[in-house]
Structure 1
């Protein structure tokens, strides 16, 4: 049991898994057969010994009640975190059928939990001294979010004309570095404008003939200019050319958005403050969460990872049950490794958040946590599909490069639309098409089964490609169901 006396659901446990293979393996370990010496406390500690296929048995302990987030340890050699044994033990625990009885933890489990919590208290005592380092790390992560590689992000932390993180506390040296970097970005943006003009003058058909090498060389020039955000968008243009039917239309649209970003940087002094901050972020400059800390009961709406060859990015959407604000947490891991931040969908977190600059101020940094995640019956407020589209339109005024906005749809039904699907307003109004990528996921059939033709509440991301469902709630009482 957690401190609130309510066990997690299986979906909340599986949301912790670093990949699909771990979820599948955990399902095979969610029975009493492989386990011995299992037990739990109402303080949120679960333990057990699992028979191993290799060098087992493996002692496994999970602490789900620590305010810093769920954590686990296991004797297995797996590099995944959490490993399949920790996930399988939690799935066994969620069953609530007496397979994991309450009791006193054995000495080996107690030692690990006590040591971890003592370390957390010691770390809290040094938090102030480490603030500068944490801000530098956050700045690098911000540059990575714009599409830069890890090395490019580290270079980005060297200086920021917006007044964000610097590697030194000497303000004069920091300002000079920021000015030099701004000059390099301006030179890169000017060169990129000329290259785009040459491309359009020669015709888009030439982009198909030149191949990817031209785009990669242009992206490398933007890296040299310390503009990783521009480099990332140029690489995306290279993948758009010859990418299927109507690729010239998509390429022209993306070129126009890149031209708009270039012009935004070159004229940033004339822009409103929030839009100028958005341009700096999109170009690839780091930023810090300078907004005031806001404490709330944050409902964990969704969590999902996106992976490329260099980086794993985890996105966690939160909803303030008192403020009504929706916030995005970003965390990062090296390629092949899951980020450390894990927040189970459907629970509520009593914590402080501080927002980053930019249009909409949706991205936030997680501050002090006052209690471990706990079950809650509250759901976010919903809107109709037409209201969701209007919300995305308004958001584009603050950030023209925005792919989507977070939206909760109220009273919608998943219905087929030819070869695709859409979410239709139960009252007979408009409908939102689902993004093509979601139509190929198992989450679609989970959503259809949850609805059964009855209106449901769905949280997801609404953008120009359609709506991507992430979490759904059934009609009437019921737990949140992750659709990832």
Structure 2
């Protein structure tokens, strides 16, 4: 990647607002020595507090970052500050120092080994006997879950409200043993349903959806290919990336990057990146995962538009995708949103095809912040239709909008709309 980014793209990599602010204080040429760049990397040494000198490198092809500072954030303020200097043209080309060259070479070697392990794992997974054994274990695990669900309903939900978390944790562990990991996560999540008015109704609804999934899996041979893929995904079966790239549905479009969110669970961080096709209006979800100390995919920046061909995983509707091929560099882009009613129609159609759908992307055009009847924040469009907002700190969004209209993108779930990014005529893109 030889094209230099602009400052907005760099700050879009920041893990949070404090990191972006701190990067500005680090992006001063006087604090850096030995800086340089080439077509794939940027490097430099930053003078820290006292006598500390931090060696910082950025691999632009991922991108990925390394810094000798003690920060646990990726990228840290030093990496962001270095990239800001590079974006401003302050960092000139030069030969890589040994410590940057060694790090990039190690990354390439690890990537090659990972690809080899995936190939071996995929070959092992495709072994007919291995596949048959797992199918039997999953069948047994779902039969046990079916009986557990019937017992919960037969015993009544009044006692469940006071039950300890281990009631659901034990059921989830048995599903993990049965190699139905995704389904185990859904069962474990039942313990987190807020104990508030209407809780039994919500729990019963979740039990019913789980029972529906069990029955759908038992009749998987009767389902369409897309719905079968959805059911298997919700149970915990994965599709190798190689298979998706080789046989998945391919869609080329100019994709707006509308939002990104990181979640951590069981020492694994997951990044969800939402895309929206300019011409096709199709949503897409790109996932990346990282263990502690590893960096997540940061190649898709919120607020940009990229001409790319995506390969979609099987599903009904197909949503998760891989970036199969890019055509040119990303450019700033403001997505074209829809009305509240337009979104609700899209979401209803998606749920009709996937009853277990947990999250769905939303991009709304010309909406304003308002208070609902119960005093909670909501967004209202020009027709007066509203959606409830789910956000812990509303002040950044309030300050951005100032009562005026914005384009707002986020994730919709049963708990409301979680904003991820907004576009303002004067302020441009703001990651929330």
Q: TM-score range by the shorter chain?
A: 0.7 to 0.9
Aligned CA distance change for structure 1 residues 292 and 334 (closer, same or farther; 3 Å)? same
Maintained 8 Å contact 2:23/2:78? yes
Q: CA deviation at 1:297?
A: 3.5
Maintained 8 Å contact 2:43/2:100? no
Q: CA deviation at 1:423?
A: 0.8
Written as runs of structure 1 = structure 2, the 5 A alignment for 1:320-359 is: 320-335=277-292, 337-359=294-316
Larger RCO (CA under 8 A, 6+ residues apart): 1
1:86 aligns to what? 79
1:34 aligns to what? 31
Offset from partner CA, 1:408-433 (integer Å, 9 cap, x none): 1111111233432111112x331111
Q: CA deviation at 1:36?
A: 4.8
Q: 2: distance between equivalents of 1:351 and 1:133?
A: 27
Unaligned runs of 5+ in 1: 137-156, 158-164
1:403 aligned to which of 358, 378, 381: 358
2:93 aligns to what? 105
Written as runs of structure 1 = structure 2, the 5 A alignment for 1:37-48 is: 47-48=43-44
Are positions 1:200 and 2:153 aligned together?
yes
Unaligned runs of 5+ in 2: none
Offset from partner CA, 1:286-327 (integer Å, 9 cap, x none): 124231444444332222201123311001112333443321
SS at match of 2:179: coil
Q: 2: distance between equivalents of 1:415 and 1:209?
A: 36
Are positions 1:222 and 2:175 aligned together?
yes
Q: 2: distance between equivalents of 1:294 and 1:365?
A: 11
Offset from partner CA, 1:92-138 (integer Å, 9 cap, x none): 556x5xxx636x33444699479959987x999x8xx98674467xx
1:13 aligned to which of 10, 17, 20: 10
1:360 aligns to what? 317
Return 339-348 or 227-236, whichever deviates more: 339-348
2:255 aligns to what? 298
Q: 2: distance between equivalents of 1:183 and 1:319?
A: 39
Return 459-468 or 250-259, whichever deviates more: 459-468
Aligned residues between the structures: 426
1:263 aligns to what? 215
Written as runs of structure 1 = structure 2, the 5 A alignment for 1:111-150 is: 112=100, 116=104, 133-134=117-118
Aligned CA distance change for structure 1 residues 119 and 175 (closer, same or farther; 3 Å)? closer
Q: Please, what TM-score do these two structures have when normalized by structure 1?
A: 0.77
SS at match of 2:258: strand
Aligned CA distance change for structure 1 residues 237 and 292 (closer, same or farther; 3 Å)? closer
1:178 aligned to which of 109, 127, 131: 131
2:267 aligned to which of 296, 302, 310: 310
1:139 aligns to what? none
Aligned CA distance change for structure 1 residues 54 and 349 (closer, same or farther; 3 Å)? farther
Offset from partner CA, 1:348-367 (integer Å, 9 cap, x none): 33433210001111100122
Q: Please, what TM-score do these two structures have when normalized by structure 2?
A: 0.85
SS at match of 2:200: helix
1:281 aligned to which of 233, 244, 267: 233
Aligned CA distance change for structure 1 residues 101 and 225 (closer, same or farther; 3 Å)? closer
Q: 2: distance between equivalents of 1:337 and 1:69?
A: 12
1:211 aligns to what? 164
Aligned CA distance change for structure 1 residues 39 and 222 (closer, same or farther; 3 Å)? closer
RMSD: 3.5
Aligned CA distance change for structure 1 residues 225 and 305 (closer, same or farther; 3 Å)? same
